[in-house]
Chains A and B, each alone.
Chain A
Amino acid sequence: TQLLEQSPQFLSIQEGENLTVYCNSSSVFSSLQWYRQEPGEGPVLLVTVVTGGEVKKLKRLTFQFGDARKDSSLHITAAQPGDTGLYLCAGIGGGTSYGKLTFGQGTILTVHP
């Protein structure tokens, strides 16, 4: 079974601060996705990273895939109250876990005005 450890579980910050969320595993994933979930709704895909060392930017959000494809990070610059939500990383497996998503536990982010 592939596991993804996501940290921190909770993050409460003031508007304008920077933050980083981490996603770590001992397993190699063929690719990794980050989702954002609002209360009462399903997760929505933010980004997919595929290549080891890959960095993708989405406005104030920067996503990085580790060189060994075992870990990833999400960095938010100058957080805003609209960034509040649950952030989930999900690894896409290969081999016997072909195509299956393994989710981290999630990070609940609260940005105070």
Chain B
Amino acid sequence: NAGVTQTPKFQVLKTGQSMTLQCAQDMNHEYMSWYRQDPGMGLRLIHYSVGAGITDQGEVPNGYNVSRSTTEDFPLRLLSAAPSQTSVYFCASSYTPTARGREQYFGPGTRLTVT
């Protein structure tokens, strides 16, 4: 049971390039989400999914796309990278999006630098 895995761990992009951050979980969790973490700002929700085929926007969705074709995978696409997207990106999953007591399991993160 690997939990939540993310690849790559580190990435450097030039402004305007596109790329996909991969996220996979093997816990059969319905709910998956992407966050970005910047110094002094905690974690901010980018996009989330409550099940295969269903996605929705979070707090900071601009410049990012997601899709959820399977329960296991939830890739995050950067369409045209900008320096403001330099950040650490975390993928998380949980069993169900119930309001109370839901534990989210986080991956190890992808550190992205856009020059």
Interface residues of chain A, those whose CB is within 8 Å of chain B, are 1, 4, 6, 9, 30-31, 33, 40-45, 48, 50, 88, 90, 92-94, 98-101, 103-106
Is the pair A40, B109 in contact by a Cβ cutoff of 8 Å? yes
**How many B residues touch the partner, as a band?**
20 to 34
Is the pair B97, A99 in contact by a Cβ cutoff of 8 Å? yes
Closest to A1 in B: B59
Q: Tell which of B45, B48, B58, B99 touches A92, judged by Cβ atoms closer than 8 Å.
A: B99
Residues of chain B within 8 A of A44, CB atoms compared: 106
CB contacts between A and B, total, < 8 Å: 64
Least Cβ distance of A27 to chain B in Å?
Answer: 14
Is the pair A105, B92 in contact by a Cβ cutoff of 8 Å? no
- Once A42-B109, A99-B99 are accepted as A-B contacts, the answer to whether A88 and B104 lie under 8 Å apart by CB is no
Is the pair A43, B101 in contact by a Cβ cutoff of 8 Å? no
Complex Cα distance, B101 from A101, in Å, reads 11
Least Cβ distance of A74 to chain B in Å?
Answer: 15
* Stretch of B14-22, B35-43, B61-69, B74-82 at the chain-chain interface: B35-43
**A30, A40, A42 — most chain B CB neighbours (10 Å):** A42
Least Cβ distance of A42 to chain B in Å?
Answer: 3
Residues of chain B within 8 A of A33, CB atoms compared: 103
Closest to B4 in A: A42
Complex Cα distance, B100 from A1, in Å, reads 19
What mask results when residues 88 to 115 of chain B are scored 1 for a CB within 8 Å of chain A, else 0?
Answer: 0010100001111111101111000000
Other A-B pairs, 16, CB within 8 Å; known A31-B100, A48-B101, A93-B99? A31-B99, A33-B103, A40-B108, A41-B108, A42-B106, A43-B90, A45-B104, A48-B102, A90-B43, A92-B99, A100-B45, A100-B58, A101-B43, A103-B42, A104-B42, A105-B41
Is the pair A43, B106 in contact by a Cβ cutoff of 8 Å? yes
